[in-house]
Chains A and B, each alone.
Chain A
Amino acid sequence: MKKKKKKPGAASIFLNGKMVGTHPDGKSLSVRLRERRRMNELSSQVNIYYNEKLNELHILTDKGRVRRPYIVVENGKSRLTPEILGRLKNKELNWHHLVKMGIIEFLDAQEEENAYVAIKEEELAPDHTHLEVHPANIFGVVAGVLPYPEHNSSPRITMACAMAKQSLGIYTTNFNNRYDTRGYVMYYPQEPLVQTSVYKSLNLREKAAGQNCIVALTSYQGYNMADAIVVNRSAIDRGLHRVAMFKTYETEERMYPGGQKDKIELPTPEVVGYRGEEAYRYLDDDGIIVPESEVKGKDVLVGKTSPPRFLEEISVFGAVEEKKRESSLSLKTGESGKVDSVLVTEGPSGNRLVKARIRSIKTPEIGDKLASRHGQKGVIGLNVPQEGMPFTKSGIVPDLIVNPHAIPSRMTAGHLLETLGGKAACLGGMIADSTAFSGDTEAQFKEVLTKNGFDEHGEEVLYDGLTGRKINAKIFMGNVYYQRLHHLVSNKMHVRSRGPVQLLTHQPTEGRAREGGLRFGEMERDCLIGYGASMLIKERLLEESDKTVQLICTECGSLATHDYARNREVCPVCQNESVEPVEMSYAFKLLLDEIKSLGIFPRVMLKRKG
């Protein structure tokens, strides 16, 4: 088949990336198609993109294109006229009407290439094609709720966005009916005093994730150096940033080949691996724990028994003895809490399934992470009772003391502005607007502050809580919305002096869940070599790790064994009894075994030391 020759200068038309035909004038076609769309003759979801360089017209109707709304501009005039705005206010019109009327349209990434968008209505020029609905619209959902982003440096905004997602609050309003593996619910969440219009539109006050704290920007005995935060312990006692952690444990009555089944029950002492009466003390008759019982450590939540692993466990008398194994569900080591609720249902494969939700209260403690909405994160460095905190003459005591060094190098002026705005919002009994590019201004806050008899810069005269003396500097103090992030020390803290070792290597296990040790790695080893601390290396890598004593045949140099039956030490290779105990790492013994498996015979030739 001969291809039809395209006329010179004709535009190629593509529908969803496939070429469907040509048109003598692509540009005017694109204009006409858009007009149709604005007249609601074409779906508002169709996007048209004309590439002038390649003379290609793309019509896009695919799914999955990310689109965002703009106000249509004609001849440098916004289609959203004051008249229409008025009708909007009277609720005669809504958003969908505007889309249908061609006042607002959605552009995708491609059509955006053909658009010239004005950010503000004042700067509209004749060649603009669109206008942003609001300048803050360039931010997404997460960045949209950050206060005063235009006053912060961009890396801090990025960090603030990342941290907002880690904040603890009320993640869903039906948390009581849910059995999430992990969930945190804040005791007294507050909506921020300084919030953006996006915050309202997302109805986030229903699911607030933080509290308005009185923050003083000063140092405190060096306990807030390097991004630490000093917290008022009395405030914590009153419920500041208090969070409940819910954790769900579950177990299932599994079926085994051969018709056997697990059974959820109170294990009897005959069961293999019975943990003793103590461990089952909270279980009800059905083997399931009673709600509101306080559990900790390795307490059993759901008693369960399993059939024996091997069927040949048949007694001498011929009858099959039902020797059941203990396989109860118990709380992880180091965790504690109260049983919040218990759920008995059916699992996906039709088995009986029991879930137990454990609730534990996590009050803020030293090492917990807090952050404002400006990428200003920090960990709690000290809890100070109210009487130890600085106070104003009217008796106001800050909840948090943040170090001023956190500000200049990070250029988060928004944090300061929020402090001022929060203070003004408190005094004026209002909620300050901090929407990007259009929020309340510093001057407005200053006015409110002066009107209420406060220093217009937000500074306060403080008295040292420890000495009672006046502090010889005015201290910036105000109200900032702080979030508690879900990096809680209590879930991370880990120490080991001794503990379990791995079966294969005899080396300490890894990870907090297994009570593991911290790896003394290659680079750490190199440092000790560089320092010449020979004995310390030996201690770390042998004594504190996988030291064993192995028997070595002095004759052939292979590993010897202790023959318990005859109580003698003998080399299995040459039957020699002249055998010496040698101290070595278990890993080396494994290496010797592995080398043997390669078909190589390693010999350990012994020499007296010294």
Chain B
Amino acid sequence: MASKKQSVKITPFEAVGVVAAQSIGEPGTQMTMRTFHYAGVAEHVPTGLPRLIEIVDAKKEPKKPIIDIYLKKSIAKSSSESEKVAKEISSLYVDDVAKVEDDLEKLYIAVTYNEKDGKAQGVTFAALKKALQDFSENQKVEGHQITIKLGKKKTKTGEKKMTAKAVRKMTQKVRQALVRGVQGIYKAVVLKGDGEYFIRAGGFNIVGACQHPSVDPARVYTNNIKEIEKNYGIEAARNAIVREIKDVMDMQKLFVDIRHIMLIADAMTYSGNIKSIGRHGLSGEKVGVLGRAAFEETIKHLINASAFSEEESLVGVTENIIVGQTVPVGTGRVKLVMKGQKK
């Protein structure tokens, strides 16, 4: 056991970063553009190279954010109950169940409940009314129509008459008012995995989703790494990066040792916040001027270095290659130290 442990250790001065980069980069060249088909939102999620770039660039929001919502054990067993939760979480706007029209002369917004859409979505007229109650106190209900009168607008100095432009703005807001569900979560689909049902939806509002009583907050997962960092911290974000890269590789049936991926995730997160790999992140923070200048934006770095009288201490690999010295990795790092002679 001990010898096994010894043999697994990395030798001192091994260029682990380069090896990790090559180990991910080489299979990356073999990635196919083939996409796999899934139900619901997961259908057009970028996989393969585009997704890999997305992760490594530390994008604020993935192109297609996805949230996996796991339910409390009691509910997760039942398909119909899960389906119900999915409906409750999936966001529904006024525009989906009603016709919204505005009158710019008389300054009012008319919302007409569409019974057919409403019934299909399971939204009653009362629910619609409730969703609209925050907009104005001056509301009139006539059959299936709600008229929101917008005579005056409250300002700090008193009341002011609404302009037509403000009404238009308000109309947009009315259309986008949430009737039901969690803001930012859409197209929820119930999937089965590992003997239980879970919900896969578009969006990434973790906090909102966790507020639903049937959701198990410990198991909510999203592919938005920044959101994970915000809500669960940097360690969780690191694990998310590892998991996401691994998923991409697995999906293409490419096998990369997990430790290479972990090294990259570590490099991206060790400072406490997520840094991208590239000129705005990791490479932009190299110590050596020459190293940075050799990567991208050569002139910018040289000029800044001169303005602040920077010193190049030649610690990096590229810097030493430029100057024409041995590189401080592998054999180049090893020094022979002689014991002082005894007298």
Contacts and interface: CB of A to CB of B under 8 A. Distances in A.
Interface of A: 525-527, 529-535, 537-538, 541-542, 547, 583-585, 587-588, 591, 595, 598, 600-601, 605
B323 A534 contact: no
Q: Which residue, B18, B303, B324, B328, has most C-beta atoms of chain A within 10 A?
A: B324
Given A531-B330, A534-B331, A585 B306 contact: no
Nearest to A586: B324
Given A530-B18, A530-B22, A534-B332, A583 B317 contact: no
B15 interface: yes
Interface in B307-342: 311, 317, 321-333
A591 B299 contact: no
Contacts of A542: 324
B327 A537 contact: yes
28 contacts: A525-B321, A526-B21, A529-B15, A529-B18, A530-B18, A530-B22, A532-B13, A532-B14, A532-B331, A533-B331, A534-B330, A537-B321, A538-B325, A538-B332, A541-B324, A542-B324, A584-B323, A585-B322, A587-B322, A588-B322, A588-B323, A588-B324, A598-B302, A598-B303, A598-B306, A600-B303, A600-B305, A601-B306
Nearest to A539: B326
Q: Which residue, A530, A547, A585, has most C-beta atoms of chain B within 10 A?
A: A530
A580 B331 CA distance: 27
Contact of B19 (A530, A538, A595, A600): A530
B58 to A, nearest CB: 23
Nearest to A541: B321
A538 B326 contact: yes
Given A588-B322, A595-B302, 6 more contacts: A526-B18, A526-B21, A533-B330, A534-B327, A534-B331, A584-B323
Q: Which residue, A532, A533, A585, A588, has most C-beta atoms of chain B within 10 A?
A: A532
A597 B331 CA distance: 36
Interface of B: 13-15, 18-19, 21-22, 299, 302-303, 305-306, 311, 317, 321-333
A584 B324 contact: yes
Contact of B327 (A538, A584, A588, A595): A538
Contacts of A583: 324
Contact of B326 (A525, A534, A547): A534
Given A598-B303, A600-B303, A530 B15 contact: yes
Contacts of B311: 605
A532 B18 CA distance: 10
A532 B329 contact: yes
A547 B311 CA distance: 24
Contacts of A538: 324-327, 332
A175 to B, nearest CB: 45
B329 A534 contact: yes
In the complex, the 8 A-B pairs of residues with the closest C-beta atoms, listed nearest first: A532-B330, A534-B332, A585-B324, A600-B306, A530-B18, A542-B324, A584-B324, A534-B326
B332 A535 contact: yes
A551 B14 CA distance: 34
Query: Secondary structure at chain A's binding surface: helix, strand, loop or mixed?
Result: helix
A535 B320 CA distance: 12
A156 B265 CA distance: 45
Nearest to B18: A530
B28 to A, nearest CB: 13
A181 B19 CA distance: 49
Contacts, number: 72
Contacts of B18: 526, 529-530
A410 to B, nearest CB: 22
B310 to A, nearest CB: 11
Contacts of B322: 585, 587-588, 591
Contacts of B22: 526-527, 530
A591 B302 CA distance: 11
Contacts of B325: 538
A532 B327 CA distance: 9
Contacts of A605: 311
A582 to B, nearest CB: 9
Contacts of A547: 324
Nearest to B22: A530
Q: Which residue, B306, B327, B332, B333, has most C-beta atoms of chain A within 10 A?
A: B327
B321 A534 contact: no
A533 B15 CA distance: 10
Given A525-B321, A538-B326, A547-B324, A532 B306 contact: no
B326 A535 contact: yes
A520 to B, nearest CB: 11
Contact of B323 (A525, A530, A537, A585): A585
A247 to B, nearest CB: 39
A91 B85 CA distance: 86
Contacts of A531: 15, 330
Contact of A534 (B303, B305, B306, B333): B333
A94 B177 CA distance: 80
A584 B13 CA distance: 24
A533 to B, nearest CB: 6
A584 B14 CA distance: 25
B21 to A, nearest CB: 8
Contacts of B326: 534-535, 537-538
Contacts of B21: 526
Nearest to B323: A588
Contacts of B306: 598, 600-601
A532 B16 CA distance: 10
B55 to A, nearest CB: 22
B295 to A, nearest CB: 12
Contacts of B331: 532-535
Contacts of B302: 595, 598, 600
Contacts of A529: 15, 18, 317, 327, 329-330
B203 to A, nearest CB: 40
A542 B328 CA distance: 16
A603 to B, nearest CB: 9
Nearest to B305: A600
Contacts of B299: 598
A28 to B, nearest CB: 47
A529 B13 CA distance: 11
Contacts of A527: 22
Contacts of A525: 321
A353 B177 CA distance: 85
Nearest to B324: A585
Contacts of A526: 18, 21-22
Contacts of B323: 584-585, 588
A527 B22 CA distance: 8
A532 to B, nearest CB: 2
Contacts of A532: 13-15, 329-332
Contacts of A598: 299, 302-303, 306
A601 B324 CA distance: 20
A599 to B, nearest CB: 8
A535 B330 CA distance: 9
Nearest to A603: B311
A15 B333 CA distance: 78
A605 B305 CA distance: 16
Contacts of A600: 302-303, 305-306
A326 B305 CA distance: 51
Nearest to B19: A530
Nearest to B327: A534
Contacts of A533: 330-331
A134 B334 CA distance: 76
A525 B18 CA distance: 11
B23 to A, nearest CB: 9
Contacts of A534: 326-333
